[in-house]
Amino acid sequence: MNQYLQLKAFQFNEDQYRALVAEIREDNVFDLCRCTFETAGAEQVLFDGIRLNRGPSRLEHCCFLNTPGLADALCGNTSVKEIYLSPTNMTDAAKLAFVSALGEYLGLTLLSLRSVKINDESWKIMCESLATCTILSESHHLTALFLLIAPSASWIY
């Protein structure tokens, strides 16, 4: 029997997150909502779990210290189904790393980017990544894809 666990507004240290992942069975589903990670080490444990498809099914407005690390961990991943980001503190380089890898997020069925000001280069790369995204060509894997991006005069043509 599948069990569902939703963790809201937790602040994880490395040992706490490692213990959580160790106790979650493969048939269980868990979501992280508005969670933070005290250190890069705690975040790295999350990223390692995502790489092994032992991560959460949903990341909702979590605060990451290393967004490019998240982008790398999601490549080839099938366990993370939904990502909701409002990355107000992301650098342009972090946004670029995230959108460049969109085509490699194999399990993704929903993406919500809110309040994101994105430069022209990242916008172009995001559109190219979405065009080559394998899940978009396999409609049975994709239920919805939402890009809710804050208007920016720099990319409106």
For 61-86, the pLDDT digits (tens) are: 888 777 788 888 988 888 898 888 87
Nearest alpha-carbon partner for 147 in 133, 128, 126, 131: 126
3-state helix, strand, coil in the chain (%, to 5): 40, 15, 45
For 9-62, the pLDDT digits (tens) are: 999 999 999 998 888 777 778 899 999 998 989 999 999 989 988 889 999 988
Q: What structural domains does the chain harbor?
A: 4-155 (3.80.10.10)
Estimate to the nearest angstrom the gap between the alpha carbon of 99 and the chain centroid: 10
Higher per-residue pLDDT: 151 or 39: 39
pTM of the model: 0.77
For 100-115, the pLDDT digits (tens) are: 887 788 888 887 877 7
151 SS3 class:
coil
Tokens of 26: 């493969």
